[in-house]
Structure 1
Amino acid sequence: MALPVLVIGDKRKSSWSLRPWLALKYFDVAFDEVLLPLDTPQFREQIGRWSPTGKVPVLHHDGMVVWDSIAILEYADETFFGRRGWPSNAAARAHARAVSAEMHAGFAALRRELSFDLTRRGPALVPGEEAAADIARVQRLWREARTRYGRGGEFLFGGFSIADAMYAPVALRFLSYGITLDPTSAAYVRTIDAMPAVRAWRAAAEAE
């Protein structure tokens, strides 16, 4: 059987692509990667053969096409991760799904003001009121997850989960923009940034 194919955008800018890529790497899933640089003629010429929405990421596997980051992560959990993508405890699992859904659907001001760019160099950002509220909300979510469920490890729910894949790009945004964080959140950002797969993604972004 052929390997799954994950189609992603360039690693400097595509936060949504990072989410499934990171989880696949963490759980040692072999896959082929197709990278289409965003906002380029190459992307416009080739994306139609891969994605029904014209967006990345998209996963091809065994004749199936799965688009949207969280759908890819759910499919990968069922197919490749052995159901290890969510916490085993039912309460923790429900909580992890809720915070992941909130990340997937919300935080528009944070996304707008702290656009994903791993090569950003510059002064720390002073966020506007709406983005500051988003940043505060993210930190509350992280503190609550770590306090209630995270004592068995360094990630939000102890061991690495899909929730960490969903929030990893946010953690990297906070680093890029020099956002001041509470101690729990700052420690979590360091955990994400130290992951070997994140370091590999960052190195590729710098090379781009």
Structure 2
Amino acid sequence: MFTGIVEELGQVTAVETLDDACRFRLRGPVVTDGARHGDSIAVNGVCLTVVDHQGDEFTADVMAETLNRSSLGALTVGSRVNLERPTAVGARLGGHIVQGHVDGTGAVLARTPSAHWEIVKVSLPADLSRYVVEKGSITVDGISLTVVEAGPDFFTVSLIPTTLALTTLGLKQPGDPVNLEVDVIAKYVERMLGHRALPDEAAR
């Protein structure tokens, strides 16, 4: 489990295209400190498994399903990526519960700068809009953010200078894709409410 608090802005150093998958080599001195084969690291919000680790770089394999459901397929050598290690049991939950399981992708629609922050508008797939509410949590490229405005096919977030400086959202321009993960609690609640027993069934 992750919290959506990005630890560092890493970089793709190599991309190997396979028949139905892709192997990335990524540089991240912070997240590779103490990393071992089989560990999990979130890359732009996607939970990946460390295949190999040398120095400040690690490799991870990405299967076709992940490439199709996320924006990782658009990464090239030199691309900057948000990196986060799983949260430790007993650690502070700085953001919100993030699984690293991308629900879909959106795209940056607009950026509106102000004196001390910036409003970013992001497109939202129709099948995810019911999970996004004003002042609720959403994960964008692995970053835990608070929704400012929730529309039928978009949402906005307000970014402080630290987020702009230390994550990919400071670099994304209109048209650029982003990975989206909605609040898993909302999905569980929907599932449970959809299976509530009818009064006559509950009495049996």
Please state which band the TM-score falls in when normalised by the shorter chain: 0.3 to 0.5
TM-score (norm 1): 0.32
Give TM-score, length-normalised by structure 2.
0.32
Which structure shows the bigger proportion of residues in strand conformation?
A: 2
Considering fraction of residues, name the structure with more helix.
1
Between structure 1 and structure 2, the one with the greater Rg is 2
